Amino acid sequence: MKDLGVYLLESMDLKELARDKFYEFLFIGAPLRLIHASGSPWNPLAVI
């Protein structure tokens, strides 16, 4: 996705949260701890 110029947060699918009427949640998106890196994979998590 990075080659297309799309930020990771723009491609998140929040339809299931909205369908279940969860409009407020704690978003956690912690990246891997890599030294001298410009990016890393991460796993978004919504705590309701």
pLDDT at residue 6 is higher than 90: no
Q: Can you give the pTM of this predicted structure?
A: 0.58
Its sign, for the CA torsion 21, 27, 28, 31, is: positive
CB 27 within 8 A of CB 46: yes
Residue 29 has which token pair? 């998106």
- Mean residue pLDDT of the chain comes to 82
Which residues sit opposite 47 in a β-bridge?
26
**What pLDDT band is residue 45 in, cutting at 50, 70 and 90?**
confident
The phi-psi region of residue 2 (left if phi > 0; otherwise alpha if psi is between -120 and 50; otherwise beta) is: alpha
